Amino acid sequence: MTRTYVVTGSATGLGKATALKLREDGHRVIGVDLVGADINVDLTNADGREELVRRRPS
């Protein structure tokens, strides 16, 4: 079964490795990070979290 995952910190390190593994396994991944991701937002503040919700894929 294909699932959709939101992976924070997906541009580098553990987040990147997690996103790559999930994609290799056939899942849909929405990567979130400050730069270099599917959605670039700062999740440390409310404005960034609201922006993520506004920009999420359908």
Residue 58 DSSP SS3: coil
- The pTM of this model reads 0.89
Which single residue is written with the structure tokens 């490795």?
Answer: 17
On whether the CB atoms of residues 29 and 51 are closer than 8 A, the answer is no
In this predicted model, what pLDDT tens digit does every residue of 2-45 receive, in sequence order?
A: 999 999 999 999 999 999 999 999 999 999 999 999 999 999 99
Indicate the pLDDT class of residue 58, thresholds 50, 70 and 90: confident
Q: What HEC string does 4-53 produce?
A: EEEEECCCCHHHHHHHHHHHHCCCEEEEEECCCCCEECCCCCHHHHHHHH
